[in-house]
Structure 1
Amino acid sequence: MTADTRSSAADNSLQLYSQEQEKPTSNMSLLTHLLACLFGMGSWISINGLWVELPLIVPQIPEGWYLPSYLSVLIQMANIGPLFVTLMHRFRPGALNETAVIYVIVVLGTVASFLLGFFWKETVVIAGVPRSVALLLLTFFLSAVDCTSSVTFLPFMMRLKPQYLTTYYIGEGVSGLLPAIVALIQGVGVVHCINSTQSLNASNISATFDLQAQYQPANFSAEVFFFFLSAMMVVCLVAFLLLNYHPSVAREHPSGRYTNGVKEKPQKNRKWAEQTLMMDPYRPANKKRSSFGTGSYSWVQVIYIFVILAWVNALTNVVLPSVQSYSCLPYGNNAYHLSATMAAVSNPLACFIALFLPIRSLLLMGALTLIGSGVGAYIMTIAVLSPCPLLVHDTSGGVIIVLAWVLFVLILSYVKVIIGVILRDEGHSALVWCGAVVQLGSLLGAVTMFPVVSVYSFFSSGDPCNTKCP
């Protein structure tokens, strides 16, 4: 082959790569981005929705505010789903039909959310004590669905081009944002402080005036909210069907490797795929250094990536959310609701930023993790000091805690997306392990925080109407 011929071939490869990067601007790519987003939205919307509905559910069930502790245990028990899928991929690769599993869990999530609308208040007397058996059982099924999505939805995204993985993460962020917005419209947890007169002696000669927190009635019932969650799972199911069977979406499969959910042999386009990977400026040098994935990373780097992934998910999924009320309520109910809403917005915003700035530097990843963890340490300190944290009587205290929650979620959500992009390039099994480590990090976080918050009552909650501090 002459030099001119090699130059022409290189130019053609660059042209193909350039065209591949420009495809997202087409209408068909926009449709695929939308479907990937809606598919990702179904990953955690059920459990996220259940958490934001707690202020409306808790007063009407016998478990009361012990319910969040029960939910934490049920969610961790539901990790049997991702454990089974991970073990099957490890010891029986190819034996598990990934597409069938996704169909099963999405349909199960749809049915469980729908049934919650009818049975969440129903109780059964066990050992002389009424228990919300239906609510707890259906919550376990929803937890199994959402936990298993971590090890099935992500690997499925291997069937689409890399840019759609970031869109999937945007949808995953929306799974927390959308229920929060609907709950705000519903008016969940809105408090009004009213005067309450208390007598100091029997003759009622003197009295003291105090403020009492009174929760505003919701604009619509919990039943309607659960039917909304069920409808969103139906949307996820329709998006998944179109991603599998829409003939135009098949064009978005890399190198035509998948058609109607069936993997094809990629030999004819393997050389082109290797050329595009070599031209990726963010990818490490193509020197095989380990047996993990493509071998682009050493085992030390692989362990480093997974440790950060577990740490970040432990913080964002369990550790800090479990103390959010303690960190915010001392500054007022508005600070609490604003921090919850803005944090929910920060998650998809971080994914959107990663769509245009997919920087895969391991050094940057570590630096951002340290910064995000530092902000998280400030939030945890405020929660420990509750109900009398720093600047409790100052407006700046509420502003700082809201900004801290926004930065915390924004930074660490970006880290999670970048790790997902890195592992996506390492292949299908890498994304399976990605989902497994996400659940492992969440499990470790729950095991750590459950006894601290629920058993030993280490944190003290602030009264939204009567915070009395020196």
Structure 2
Amino acid sequence: MSLLTHVLACLFGMGSWVAINGMWVELPLVVPEIPEGWYLPSYLTVLIQMANVGPLFITLMHRFRPGTLDERPVVYGIVALGIVATFLLAFFWKHTVTVGGSVHSVALLVLSFLLSVVDCTSSVTFLPFMMRLRPQYLTTYFVGEGLSGLVPALVALIQGVGVVQCQNGTSADWGNSVMNNSSLGDGSDLKAVYQPAKFSTQVFFMFLSAMMIVCLAAFVLLNHHPAVARERKNDLYYSGHIGTDKTEQGLSLHAQTPEQKPMISPLEVRREPRSAFGRGTYSREEVVFIFVVLAWVNALTNAVLPSVQSYSCLPYGNKAYHLAATMAAVSNPVACFIAMFIPIRSLVFMGCLTVFGTGFGAYIMAMAALSPCPLLVYSASGTVAIVLAWILFVLSLSYVKVIIGVILRDEGHSALVWCGAVVQLGSMVGAISMFPLVSVYGIFKSGDACNTKCPM
């Protein structure tokens, strides 16, 4: 294996969701400067779901016109669009236009929609492209995809996004505050005030544009660098007309070995497909199970739990919130590294790990529902519990996502296309389910780190 190819695959994966992830972590600095205020997250959620028109088109093309769509021109197009959109965002994100008598950040919303199209479409184009490389590089790609959330979060942490200081209401800088005020029972009045950032939002968006340029450069080298060409699989393998070699057999969950069936060779087993999906390695019931788990895991990790992260963590304090958010972002690429060296592809283990991660997700959701007074709110053990829950939730379910990706990669090009489509479908269902609960009915209540009092 080539170290250069691993690095390029990682950098390529980092470009998959870096733009939208960057938008989310920068919200505390963007929101005070625009007329939409804290309604912007709700708008972003809707825009991201509208952007699924891109994956839908790609999936339908593969379904009804198989073999006619080459991912490479699409990848070049969407990455170039991401570079231009993030660059323009750096200069026009504060510009407003009067529409229907109301002032709106039209440029910000339009460019956010374009970035959503880029990132959503990457799910059904980046993964199928990885079929052109050896299977080992797919896990490296997932590491990069995990870093697409971690790197913007770390840069935002350095920038000082979301650092809050409690100040007396009479001396606080009211213009910088974006949190509600409430009076304490003892008559004191504190204000939660965001501290000035170390560098501007414009610089941050320029950084995102640079990240997209790095992604484009990595993609160009993956296509044209001689060292990568030696690692690329031949066209026969890519087309699925020949069997896998011994190394690739080990990547398949149900790959039959001579020890399991000593009288039957692996090639003879493959002549009897268990279903019409991919290479027929799995039965129809197993395929349905894999895709249901994939949709469920992505709904939880990409939409359901992120929408309540602040509600679950802020009651324990601002430090708990930032620690949980940062460690959760770190857990994603860590899970990919674990999957690289310990790839357990048992469907039973996958199901148990999904239940394990869902259990921690249920705890997080319960604490969010109890906000602003969750369990152990004034205890250090409560802070440890919520941070640990976020780490184990992301770690376990991210591992499941990577293993499913590797399994489907063994099933061929079309399987990875459907993998990306189901990822987006699960995320969309999760977002649509949570939007009315969070933004319409207001079931979850924010905790004020400076003023909220709970019974002991």
Residue among 67, 91, 99 paired with 2:72: 99
Corresponding pairs, count: 427
- Give the ranges of 4+ consecutive aligned residues of structure 1 lying more than 4 Å apart after TM superposition: 263-267, 274-282
**CA–CA distance in structure 1, aligned partners of residues 23 and 279 of structure 2:** 39
User: After alignment, is 35-44 or 388-397 more displaced?
Assistant: 388-397
Provide the C-alpha distance between the structure 2 equivalents of 1:316 and 1:279, rounded to a whole number of angstroms: 28
Partner of 2:183: none
**1:284-312 CA distances to partner (integer Å, 9 max, x unpaired)?**
43451001001010000000000000000
| Alignment-derived partner of residue 235 in structure 2 | 257
Q: Distance in 1 between matches of 2:111 and 2:204?
A: 15
- The Cα shift of 1:265 comes to 7.4
Residue 203 of structure 2 is aligned to residue 224 of structure 1? yes
SS in 2 for 1:248: helix
User: Which one of the candidate residues 461, 464, 467 is aligned to 2:446?
Assistant: 461
Partner of 1:161: 134
Q: Hey, what does 1:450 align to over in structure 2?
A: 435
Report the Cα offset of residue 358 of structure 1. Answer: 1.2
Tell me the CA shift for residue 283 of structure 1. 3.4
In structure 1, what residue type is equivalent to 2:392? Answer: L
SS in structure 2 opposite 1:283? coil
Query: Partner residue of 2:227?
Result: 248
How far apart are 1:264 and its partner, in Å? 7.8
Q: How does 1:112-123 map to 2 (within 5 A)?
A: 112-123=85-96
Mapping 1:292-371, distance limit 5 Å: 292-371=277-356
SS in 2 for 1:84: helix
Q: Residue by residue, what CA displacement relative to the aligned partner does 1:334-363 show, whole Å, maximum 9, x if unpaired?
A: 000110000000000000100001111000
Are 2:93 and 1:86 aligned? Answer: no
* Match in the other structure for 1:68: 41
Q: Distance in 1 between matches of 2:387 and 2:372?
A: 16
Do the aligned residues in 2 keep the contact of 1:197 with 1:209 (CA within 8 Å)? no
Superposed displacement of residue 194, structure 1: 1.3
Structure 1 gaps of 5+ residues are 1-23, 199-206
Cα separation, 2, equivalents of 1:444 and 1:265: 32
1:448–1:357 distance in 2 versus 1, CA, 3 Å: same
What is the DSSP-based 3-state SS (H/G/I as helix, E as strand, rest coil) of the residue aligned with 1:432?
Answer: helix
Please say if residues 318 and 442 of structure 1, whose CA atoms lie closer than 8 Å, have aligned partners that are also in contact: yes
Query: After superposition, what is the alpha-carbon deviation per residue over 1:28-47, rounded to whole angstroms, capped at 9, x for unaligned?
Result: x1100000000000000000
Aligned to 1:140: 113
Alignment partners' CA distance in 2, 1:61 and 1:359: 47
Q: Distance in 1 between matches of 2:239 and 2:255?
A: 26
Q: Tell which deviates more after alignment, 56-65 or 210-219.
A: 210-219
Matched, 1:193 2:166: yes
Q: Deviations over 1:116-172 (max 9, x none)?
A: 001000000011110000000000000000000000000000000001000000000
Counterpart among 202, 212, 216 of residue 237 in structure 1: 216
Q: Say if 1:289 and 1:217 are closer, same or farther in 2 by CA, change over 3 A.
A: same
**Cα distance between partner residues in 2 of 1:372 and 1:326:** 19
Moved more, 459-468 or 282-291: 282-291
Measured in 2, the distance between the counterparts of 1:277 and 1:175 equals: 27
Q: Quickly say closer, same or farther: Cα 1:130–1:280, change in 2 above 3 A.
A: closer
Amino acid at match of 1:67: L
User: Is 2:152 the partner of 1:179?
Assistant: yes
Corresponding residue for residue 43 of structure 1: 16
Q: Do 1:114 and 1:227's aligned partners in 2 also have CA atoms closer than 8 Å?
A: yes
Displacement of 1:95 in angstroms is 1.6
* Other-structure match for 1:52: 25
Structure 2 residue corresponding to 1:283, chosen from 254, 268, 271: 254
Equivalent AA in structure 2 for residue 283 of structure 1: H
Asked if the contact 1:109–1:141 (Cα under 8 Å) also holds between the matched residues in 2, the reply is: yes
Q: Which residue of 1 aligns with 2:175?
A: none
Q: State how far apart, in whole Å, the 1-side matches of 2:88 and 2:405 are.
A: 34
Higher Rg of the two aligned structures: 1
Identity across the alignment (%): 71
- Contact 2:10/2:144, CA 8 A, preserved across alignment: yes
With structure 1 as the length reference, what TM-score do the two structures score?
A: 0.88
Partner of residue 202, structure 1: none
Normalised to the residue count of structure 2, the TM-score between the two structures is: 0.91
Structure-1 residue corresponding to 2:263: none
The 2-side partners of 1:402 and 1:279 are apart by: 36
Tell me by how many angstroms 1:467 deviates. Answer: 2.0
How far apart, in 2, do the equivalents of 1:418 and 1:281 lie?
A: 10
- CA spacing shift, 1:280–1:416, aligned 2, 3 Å: closer
Shift, 1:278, TM fit: 4.5
**What residue number does 1:436 align with?**
421
In the alignment, which of 61, 79, 83 is matched to residue 110 of structure 1?
83
Residues 193/248 of structure 1: CA separation in 2 closer, same or farther (3 Å cut): same
Tell whether the 8 Å contact from 2:253 to 2:407 is kept in structure 1 after alignment: no
Give the 3-state SS of the residue equivalent to 1:194 in structure 2.
Answer: strand
